[in-house]
């Protein structure tokens, strides 16, 4: 058996409880091996996910976590696995629960994001930071800070790392105007950011559902087996299909409401999605998602 396979086997045992009880923890985060040297960092209680990739030259981190406390817990987990430097930090989009701990990571080669993400943080970052305690809670927002990416791209970027292919792709508007995915073609792993949620309703506050569905269709063309979403547990291609059905379903019930001449309030009272009723934030966010899609589709009409 190859050394990497042995190490992954041991790491998997650790995470599954074979060598220590319960899932490997770092602070309040769940640190899970996905494939050899690729780890998912699952946020507490449905908070934002992150992850990291170990390479011969150093570590690539995907998203910086909801706050400095969580980012520091992630760094402690990394340091238990390797002493190599953090090379890059990738921001999948601009929202604070994925970027407001950028200042904790200190990558040697820089922070990478889509060019639109940098513009969003530069122009709206101060206002986003001001509103952050309202969205995540005062305690969770402690220490949050806006830190701009230093490296940007438009459509695609492949990181200059000798022993691992890491591809960053922009596939179109979705959760925000600047969402990117991190794709490892050889390992068939995809970090989707908030383009995909698993067992967790999405926040549609900035999302354009029509364009989002087009972007998901492009995302499905990438060959992958393991999906690390923006929030929720590690999934697979079926998780992407399930999320796509939710967005399509929201648009469908809004169209039906227009045809029936239902008001927005009537739609909120009658619409339900039984398949997703046990997902996190179902009760809180379904009415908000319906309202967002309703207002958006009024403009489309």
- pLDDT score of 245 more than 70: yes
Q: Buried (b) or exposed (e) across 151-160, using 16+ Cβ within 10 A? A: bbbeeebebe
Mean pLDDT, range 107-120, rounded to an integer = 98
C-alpha count within 13 angstroms, C-beta hemisphere, residue 158: 7
pTM of the model as a whole: 0.91
Count of other CB atoms within 10 angstroms of residue 39: 25
Degrees to nearest 5, angle at CA 106 with 102 and 111: 60
Neighbours of 246 (CB within 10 A): 18
SS3 207: coil
Token pair for 133: 């305690």
Instruction: State the average pLDDT over residues 2-15.
Output: 43
pLDDT at 299: 86
Round to whole Å and give the CA distance between 294 and 258.
9
Reply yes or no on whether the pLDDT at 16 is more than 70.
Answer: no
Q: Please give the mean pLDDT across all residues of the chain.
A: 91
Contact 107, 61 (CB under 8 A): yes
Question: How far is it, in rounded angstroms, from Cα 297 to Cα 208?
Answer: 9
What pLDDT is recorded for position 29?
79
pLDDT of residue 28: 66
DSSP assigned state of 175? S
Tokens read off for 242: 């399930």
Residue 9 confidence (pLDDT): 37
Hey, is 156 helix, strand or coil? strand
Q: Are 199 and 232 in contact (CB under 8 A)?
A: yes
- What tens digit of pLDDT does each residue of 79-92 get? 999 999 999 999 99
Contact (Cβ atoms closer than 8 angstroms) between residue 112 and residue 98: no
Average pLDDT rounded to a whole number, residues 89-107: 98
Ordered domains of the chain (ranges, CATH): 3-238 (3.60.15.10)
Q: Tell me how far apart the alpha carbons of residues 282 and 74 are, in angstroms, rounded to a whole number.
A: 28
| Closest alpha carbon to 197 in 243, 166, 130 | 243
Rg (CA), the chain: 19
Q: Which of 151, 11, 143 is nearest to 68 (CA)?
A: 143
Average pLDDT over residues 205-219: 94
How far, rounded to the nearest angstrom, does the alpha carbon of residue 125 sit from its chain's CA centroid? 19
The 10s digit of each residue's pLDDT in 39-48 is 999 998 899 9
Distance of alpha carbon 14 from alpha carbon 33, whole angstroms: 9
With 50 as the cut, is the pLDDT of residue 6 above it? no
* Per-residue pLDDT reduced to its tens digit, 120-157: 999 999 999 999 999 999 999 999 999 999 999 999 99
């Amino acid at each position: 058996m190859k050394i990497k396979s042995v190490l992954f086997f041991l790491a998997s045992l650790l995470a599954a409880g074979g060598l220590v009880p319960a899932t490997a923890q770092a602070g309040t985060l769940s640190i899970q091996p996905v494939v050899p040297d690729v780890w998912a960092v699952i946020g507490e209680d449905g908070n934002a996910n992150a992850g990291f990739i170990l390479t011969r030259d150093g570590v690539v981190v995907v998203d910086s976590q909801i706050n400095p406390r969580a980012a520091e817990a992630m760094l402690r987990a990394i340091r238990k696995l390797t002493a190599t430097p953090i090379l890059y930090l990738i921001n999948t989009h601009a929202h604070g629960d994925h970027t407001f701990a950028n200042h904790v990571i200190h990558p040697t080669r820089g922070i990478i994001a889509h060019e639109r993400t940098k513009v969003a943080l530069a122009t709206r970052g101060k206002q986003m930071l001001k509103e952050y305690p309202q969205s995540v809670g005062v305690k969770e927002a402690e220490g949050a800070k806006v830190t701009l990416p230093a490296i940007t791209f438009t459509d695609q970027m492949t990181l200059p790392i000798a022993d691992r292919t890491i591809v960053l792709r922009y596939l179109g508007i979705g959760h925000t105007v600047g969402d990117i995915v991190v794709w490892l073609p050889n390992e068939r792993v995809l970090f989707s950011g908030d383009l995909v949620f698993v067992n967790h309703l999405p926040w549609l506050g900035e999302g354009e559902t029509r364009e989002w569905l087009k972007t998901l269709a492009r995302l499905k063309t990438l060959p992958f087996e393991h999906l690390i979403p923006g929030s929720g547990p590690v999934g697979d291609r079926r998780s992407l299909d399930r999320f796509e059905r939710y967005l399509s379903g929201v648009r469908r019930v809004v169209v039906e409401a227009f045809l029936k001449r239902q008001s927005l309030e009537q739609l909120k009272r009658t619409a339900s999605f039984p398949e997703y009723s046990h997902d996190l934030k179902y009760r809180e966010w379904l009415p908000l998602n319906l309202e967002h899609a309703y207002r958006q589709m009024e403009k489309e009409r």
